[in-house]
């Protein structure tokens, strides 16, 4: 308990260090996250739209779950060497599966009656996607991004063994910073993860068309 | 094509009045559908014509290909062999999207978009057709009035989740009618409604159908719904074969084969009684009586033995009147319009309604 209490004076005394490390931490987690979103969402949405590639989406997710991030980084050290690039590749591989599979499921699981009604009325394939599938799938797509974001930010801690910097530098260096430093940095990682998660909740609310907001309210009420 | 329409207009005035402007008949010409990977045919050499303005029900057990037949028309399913024409146009001559925008489409549980308001749902097709805003707004309001969701302003901004099943179905119909398509396809649209709501929505839809006169192909598994709604019924049997295509009265009176008879059920005779109203029977028996210059309908106080007869309205079906007569253990019913006594119908007349004046004489047009 003393150590936890002691973590706060450490934060005050080493604010600039923590800020610098937190900045690195955000950098090495957000870049791979963004890359995973930019590739995973369109691919997942497209596969869901054409109702193909369920096997691919599920397999990638399972591999992603089974793959220990530590092992991944160790392997990558052998392949790309030590440094930020190593960490980012590892974190990308970690973030990609949930984003892809959630995006796929989000669109693939939209009620077939609705898409049939839309096509039957004369909406083109792209119009069905934009008017029906994306609005209805949006909450689930964002859920996938949230899962990936929390995973990436927390796993970035381990990336320090590849020499990429970040708050992991403090956490894994008890000798230099003491137990108080370890706890302080760990708390920062937790807060960062929560903030990022909440950022995407906010984004969902801002990006949702009125009807999607209505649906979310309705599902909360039930 | 036009010749047929004019030729038949003598027998069905209602049909001809709507087909006068454009020919919007749906013709299935030897249509066969086999789904890939399946050896059995979903639909086997179907040839029927749905005339302009007619409401035709496709009925049959599941596996009869009725939904397939419907989806072939708007090309949600592609046909394997044969030809389908709407008016004089082969549906294969249009792109699927072009084609579908000229066809209203309503499905079970309404298929409304849950994230769109009532107004947005109805405006789906007009907005992809790039109608201007004002026109869409006017059309939306007009349609809500047509389907009886008034005052209109109270419904525009609601979401489907806030409506009852029957209300959703009405919006679904309004949406299908939005761009004023000449043809409507309806796939078990009332299948998910409770019996009371279903009756009400059926009645409303019939009224709308009479008012707007769209050529309508209507899929249902419920033979009673088909008897009530349809001008003609197409009964499909497993394997996608057409068992019979005729008016409800004719199908009930003369089932083409054992399959149709069984499908219509043991109450076939009673169902037939639901096609005739008490007022029609009264008219027919009076027409005969006039001919014979014999009995007159009693207009003053009823004879003593008829005091206990139940009172029925002229608009009731024979089946409903018979039910009341049976419940009252009487030999007939007294037909009243408010306080006015229109005449009596006997049990015998209810069970064996006199043939129409036309049928009885074998000559047309003497009396209607």
- Which class does domain A2-221 fall in? mainly alpha
**pLDDT score, position B19:** 41
Of residues B97, B111, B112, nearest to A122 (C-beta)? B97
- Distance between CA A97 and CA A154 in Å, rounded? 16
Of residues B71, B101, B185, nearest to A122 (C-beta)? B101
A135 touches chain B (CB under 8 A): yes
**pLDDT score, position A204:** 86
Q: Do A113 and B161 touch (CB under 8 A)?
A: no
Phi/psi-derived region of residue B75, left when phi > 0, alpha when psi is between -120 and 50, beta in every other case: left
- Strand (E) or helix (H) holding A181: helix A174-207
What confidence category does residue B12 fall into, taking pLDDT thresholds of 50, 70 and 90? very low
pTM of this prediction?
A: 0.80
A139 touches chain B (CB under 8 A): no
Q: Do B175 and A121 touch (CB under 8 A)?
A: yes
Q: Do A135 and B175 touch (CB under 8 A)?
A: no
Superfamily covering domain B4-273? P-loop containing nucleotide triphosphate hydrolases (3.40.50.300)
Residues of B in contact with A118 (CB under 8 A): 113, 124
pLDDT in tens, chain A (222 residues): 677 888 888 888 888 899 999 999 999 999 999 999 999 999 999 999 999 888 888 888 888 777 777 787 778 777 777 778 888 888 898 899 999 999 999 999 999 999 999 999 999 999 999 999 999 999 999 999 999 999 999 888 888 888 778 898 888 888 888 888 899 999 999 999 999 999 999 988 887 888 888 887 777 654
Query: Where do the structural domains in chain A lie, given as residue ranges?
Result: 2-221
**pLDDT score, position B293:** 46
Residues of B in contact with A117 (CB under 8 A): 105, 107, 111-112
- CATH code matching the domain that covers B277-283+302-352, chosen among 3.90.1280, 3.40.50, 2.60.120, 1.10.10: 3.90.1280
Angle B347-B353-B356 (CA atoms, 0-180°, nearest 5)?
150
Query: Where do the structural domains in chain B lie, given as residue ranges?
Result: 4-273, 277-283+302-352
Of residues A123, A135, A214, nearest to B128 (C-beta)? A123
**pLDDT score, position B163:** 92
Q: Do B97 and A131 touch (CB under 8 A)?
A: no
Tell me the pLDDT tens digit for each residue of B290-343.
655 444 444 456 677 787 888 888 888 888 889 889 898 988 898 888 888 888
**pLDDT score, position B361:** 38
Residue B208: pLDDT above 50? Answer: yes
The Cβ of residue B193 has, within 10 Å, a number of other Cβ atoms equal to 21
**pLDDT score, position B10:** 36
Q: Which two tokens stand for residue B29?
A: 């010409």
Please check whether residue A208 is in contact with residue A222, taking contact to mean a CB–CB distance below 8 angstroms: no
What percent of the residues of chain A are helix, what percent strand, and what percent coil, each to the nearest 5? 85, 0, 15
How far does B368 lie from chain A, in Å, by closest CA?
42
The Cβ of residue B294 has, within 10 Å, a number of other Cβ atoms equal to 8
Strand order in the sheet with B332-337: B311-312, B332-337, B340-346
Q: Do B115 and A214 touch (CB under 8 A)?
A: yes
Q: Measuring CA to CA, which residue among B271, B327, B332, B244 is closest to residue B46? A: B244
Of residues A113, A131, A136, nearest to B111 (C-beta)? A113
Residue B111: pLDDT above 70? Answer: yes
Q: b/e per residue, A181-194, with b = 16+ CB within 10 A?
A: bbbbbbbbbeebbe
The Cβ of residue A1 has, within 10 Å, a number of other Cβ atoms equal to 5
What confidence category does residue B202 fall into, taking pLDDT thresholds of 50, 70 and 90? very high
**pLDDT score, position B349:** 86
Closest residue, chain B, to A213 (C-alpha) = B115
A50 touches chain B (CB under 8 A): no
In the three-class reduction of DSSP (H, G, I as helix; E, B as strand; rest coil), residue A90 is classed as helix
Q: Do A122 and B98 touch (CB under 8 A)?
A: yes
Q: b/e per residue, B349-363, with b = 16+ CB within 10 A?
A: bbeebbebbeeeeee
Rounded to two decimals, the ipTM of the complex is 0.81
Please check whether residue B75 is in contact with residue B68, taking contact to mean a CB–CB distance below 8 angstroms: no
Residue B182: pLDDT above 60? Answer: yes
**pLDDT score, position B365:** 37
**pLDDT score, position B291:** 57
Range with the largest mean pLDDT of A157-171, B181-195, B265-279: B181-195
Residue with the bigger pLDDT between B155 and A5: it is B155
């Amino acid at each position: 308990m003393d150590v936890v209490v002691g973590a706060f004076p450490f934060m005050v005394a080493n604010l600039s260090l923590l800020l610098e490390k937190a900045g690195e931490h955000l950098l090495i987690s957000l870049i791979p996250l963004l890359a995973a979103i930019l590739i995973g969402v369109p691919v997942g949405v497209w596969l869901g739209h054409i109702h193909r590639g369920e096997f691919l989406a599920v397999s990638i997710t399972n591999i992603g779950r089974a793959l220990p991030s530590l092992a991944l980084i160790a392997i990558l050290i052998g392949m790309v060497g030590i440094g930020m690039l190593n960490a980012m590749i590892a974190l990308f591989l970690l973030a990609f599966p949930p984003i892809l599979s959630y995006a796929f499921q989000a669109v693939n699981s939209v009620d077939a009656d609705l898409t049939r009604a839309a096509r039957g009325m004369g909406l083109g394939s792209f119009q069905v996607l934009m008017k029906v599938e994306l609005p209805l799938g949006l909450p689930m797509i964002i859920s996938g991004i949230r899962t990936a974001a929390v995973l990436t930010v927390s796993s970035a801690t381990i990336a320090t063994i590849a020499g990429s910097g970040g708050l992991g530098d403090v956490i894994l260096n008890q000798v230099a910073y003491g137990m108080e430093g370890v706890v302080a940095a760990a708390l920062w990682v937790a807060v960062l993860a929560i903030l990022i998660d909440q950022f995407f909740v906010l984004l969902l609310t801002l990006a949702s068309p009125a009807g999607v907001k209505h649906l979310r309210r309705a599902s909360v009420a039930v | 094509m036009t010749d047929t329409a004019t030729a038949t207009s003598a027998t069905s005035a209602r049909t001809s009045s709507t087909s006068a402007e454009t020919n919007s008949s749906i013709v299935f010409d030897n249509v066969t559908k086999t789904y890939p990977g399946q050896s059995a045919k979903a639909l086997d050499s179907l040839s029927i014509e749905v005339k302009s303005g007619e409401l035709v029900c496709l009925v049959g057990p599941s596996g009869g290909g009725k939904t397939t037949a419907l989806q072939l028309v708007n090309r949600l399913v592609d046909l394997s062999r044969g030809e389908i024409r709407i008016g004089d146009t082969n549906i294969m001559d249009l792109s699927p999207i072009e084609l579908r925008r000229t066809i209203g489409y309503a499905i079970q549980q309404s298929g409304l978009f849950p994230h769109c308001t009532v107004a947005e749902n109805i405006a789906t097709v007009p907005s992809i057709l790039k109608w201007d805003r004002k026109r869409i707004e006017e059309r939306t309001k007009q349609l809500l009035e047509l389907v009886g969701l008034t005052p209109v302003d109270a419904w525009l901004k609601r979401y489907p989740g806030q409506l009852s099943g029957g209300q959703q179905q009405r919006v679904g119909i309004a949406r299908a009618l939005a761009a004023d398509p000449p043809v409507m396809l309806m796939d078990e649209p009332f299948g998910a409604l409770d019996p009371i709501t279903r009756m009400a929505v059926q009645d409303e839809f019939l009224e709308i159908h009479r008012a707007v006169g769209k050529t309508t192909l209507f899929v249902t598994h419920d033979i009673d719904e088909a008897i009530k709604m349809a001008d003609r019924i197409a009964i499909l049997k497993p394997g996608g074969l057409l068992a019979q295509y005729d008016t409800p009265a004719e199908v009930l009176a003369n089932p083409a084969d054992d399959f149709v008879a069984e499908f219509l059920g043991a109450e076939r005779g009673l169902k037939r009684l639901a096609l005739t109203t008490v007022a029609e029977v009264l008219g027919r028996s009076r027409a005969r009586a006039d001919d014979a210059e014999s009995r007159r309908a009693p207009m003053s106080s009823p004879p003593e033995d008829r005091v206990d007869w139940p009172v029925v309205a002229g608009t009731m079906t024979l089946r409903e009147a018979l039910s009341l007569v049976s419940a009252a253990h009487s030999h007939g019913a007294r037909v009243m319009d408010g306080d006015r006594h229109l005449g009596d119908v006997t049990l015998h007349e209810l069970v064996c309604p006199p043939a129409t004046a036309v049928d009885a004489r074998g000559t047309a047009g003497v009396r209607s």
